[in-house]
Structure 1
Amino acid sequence: MFGLLMVKMRSIHRGFITLAALAIIMVLTACSSEAETGSDGKVQVTATTGMIADVAREVGGAYVDVTGLMGPGVDPHLYKASQGDIRKLEQASVILYNGLHLEGKMTDILEKMSKSKIVTAVTENIPVDQLRSGKETGGTEYDPHVWFDVGHWIHATESIRDTLIKADPAHEEQYKAQAEQYLGKLQALDEEVRQQIQEIPEASRVLVTAHDAFGYFGQAYGMNVMGLQGISTAAEYGAKDVSELRDYLVENQIKAVFVESSVPAKAMEAIIAGAAEKGHTVTIGGELFSDAMGAEGTEEGTYIGMIRHNIQTIVEALK
């Protein structure tokens, strides 16, 4: 009798263990497909750059709480994650980053975190044959500055939309509707840029900047783009690079160059001084936002506002 009782107890015990194991598996499965929400019920999103954070807020609306790591004037090529940044990444249930090695050494951290939470490179669905090579001007396989082609940023927006739906399927319809509205604004922006470029005489459509961040812009909208540095500001430039660019400005009678909000202006000022010594006047056509947006709360602190500021500055200087 005692033996029979022990057998039944062991059977019941095994049953509890089985049920507990099933419960754990169900929880882990749910966590892998849906993101945890904060105390306010919102999906906690951390984005590396301001451009990505801005789109996440537009698409996510009231259902997300977005934290951006890199603020105005920050150069993502040289950025090193602080302990505070690591905490923000760890606390997020969704992480959005550019990819294509824009974030440099941070990429290793992001890839490790992808094993425990939803991590998306927003450039992942841009067709590879539409990416510019970066090997000749910076050492990376592809040029990461895709946001300067609004058409590419439409792909990135769709990727952000799909990631939020994966994280929070309960609000799929809302994310789709908000994304559709924002995508309409991007399509209008793309056409607006094309129209404004037409105001620049064809011979003057030469954009000279501190580093090669505007290649996609030139490719998409018909401008010849030159940068003193390669696609990464981590790439060093020397006296030869300065003299070659100076000579190009003189020989082609280029009247304006542009500085960038996230890159020191000293090198461009040296080129202007060098051109002046050769009898050619070059002015600074204005400051462009390249790897970072403007201050939060300003028009330039949004992706659309940043692009509009840049195109208006370029047109005014070169037309």
Structure 2
Amino acid sequence: MKARQVSSFKRFWLTLLFLTMAALAAACAPSRPAADASGPIKVTATIGMISDIVKQVGGEHVEVTGLMKSGVDPHLYKASQGDVKKLEQAQIIFYNGLHLEGKMVEIFEKMAAEKPTVAVSKTIPESELRGWEDGEAAHDPHIWFNVKHWMSATEVVRDELSKADPEHADAYRSSAEAYLKQLQELDTYAMEQIASIPEQQRVLVTAHDAFGYFGDRYHIKVMGLQGISTASEYGSKDVSDLREFLVSQQIKAVFVESSVPKKSIEAVIEGAKKQGHEVKIGGELFSDAMGKEGTAEGTYIGMVRHNVDTIVNALK
């Protein structure tokens, strides 16, 4: 066989080998679900507040699956096999971030290699995030209690939906604009209502420290029996310290939360009562979860308005 024929023969087999390896690599690569032009884009969100953003911005062009329902504590939440399947079937995943869904971090990291997996908190400047109570690098994840921060989260959802489904980008932008206007009105409402409480009575005491952003934004002192995460334990000293504060400051009302057991705050009330100071439960607030689906409190705006009205009625 002549040298030229040998060379051509080698090139042929080398090319064939390269194409075979490329085909195998493509077959083994993780698939990225694409937007289905024949139906709505499939979105899975963790907490109800994020699901609500997606519904408001996406409208008829999205199919939203929420993992955590009313009354569920995201700090302690563990994903089931059914949840993992919902995440796998989604074309986009939205989560809060900042370690709110602490037990799901590894799942998000895995999913990020396969599809857009987005923390709605990602555009909030670090300088505007509250620190964790133990001084570590982590931040307070309860960003939805500052309506301005939730407006930033809405913009993240708008941009990610537009990127994944450019055919309906104009619709997403239009819906987001209308929703952002409602959020701006909500922010003004909260500011005005909390300001109507006499300053010396402007103290919000809750079961866990979820309302820090609310306190900073709307100028009300906030105290919680537990720390920022309900995974943190509270002890007898925490109970006695909060009890002494209620008695010394003559605080008349404390609040329970829909996603946190009431027994913790009830121990504080009982301790104050033994010292001759009567403290009432001013109402139930929604902290880490919204109300039931189909109710006003089952939307983000309805939840915030309920909290504001409950706090004002009890403290004013």
The answer to whether the superposition gives a TM-score over 0.5 is yes
Counterpart amino acid of residue 221 in structure 2 = N
- 1:91 — aligned with what? 89
Q: In structure 2, what is the Cα distance between the partners aligned to 1:299 and 1:179?
A: 20
CA, structure 1 residues 140+295, in 2 after alignment: closer, same or farther (shift >3 Å)? farther
- Unpaired runs of 5+ residues, structure 2, are none
The Cα of 1:136 is off from its aligned counterpart by 2.4
The Cα of 1:21 is off from its aligned counterpart by 5.8
The Cα of 1:14 is off from its aligned counterpart by 5.0
- 1:134 — aligned with what? 132
- Unpaired runs of 5+ residues, structure 1, are none
CA, structure 1 residues 13+62, in 2 after alignment: closer, same or farther (shift >3 Å)? farther
The Cα of 1:104 is off from its aligned counterpart by 0.7
Q: In structure 1, what is the Cα distance between the partners aligned to 2:91 and 2:77?
A: 22
- 1:188 — aligned with what? 185
- RMSD of aligned residue pairs (Cα, Å): 2.8
Counterpart amino acid of residue 121 in structure 2 = T
The Cα of 1:38 is off from its aligned counterpart by 5.1
Q: In structure 2, what is the Cα distance between the partners aligned to 1:51 and 1:38?
A: 25
- 2:78 — aligned with what? 80
Deviation digits for residues 256-314 of structure 1, max 9, x if unmatched? 00000000001111111111111111000000000000000000000000000000000
The question of whether the paired residues in 2 share the 8 Å contact of 1:101 and 1:140 is answered with: no
Q: In structure 1, what is the Cα distance between the partners aligned to 2:117 and 2:111?
A: 7
Q: In structure 1, what is the Cα distance between the partners aligned to 2:137 and 2:86?
A: 27
The Cα of 1:169 is off from its aligned counterpart by 1.4
1:311 to 296, 302, 308: 308
2:258 to 254, 257, 261: 261
The Cα of 1:135 is off from its aligned counterpart by 3.8
2:233 corresponds to 1:236: yes
The question of whether the paired residues in 2 share the 8 Å contact of 1:51 and 1:293 is answered with: yes
- Aligned-residue sequence identity (percent) comes to 59
- Moved runs in structure 1, 4+ residues, more than 3 A? 10-15, 17-22, 37-40
Q: In structure 1, what is the Cα distance between the partners aligned to 2:105 and 2:302?
A: 28
Aligned length: 313
The Cα of 1:238 is off from its aligned counterpart by 0.3
The question of whether the paired residues in 2 share the 8 Å contact of 1:48 and 1:70 is answered with: yes
- 1:296 — aligned with what? 293
2:224 corresponds to 1:223: no
TM-score (norm 1): 0.90
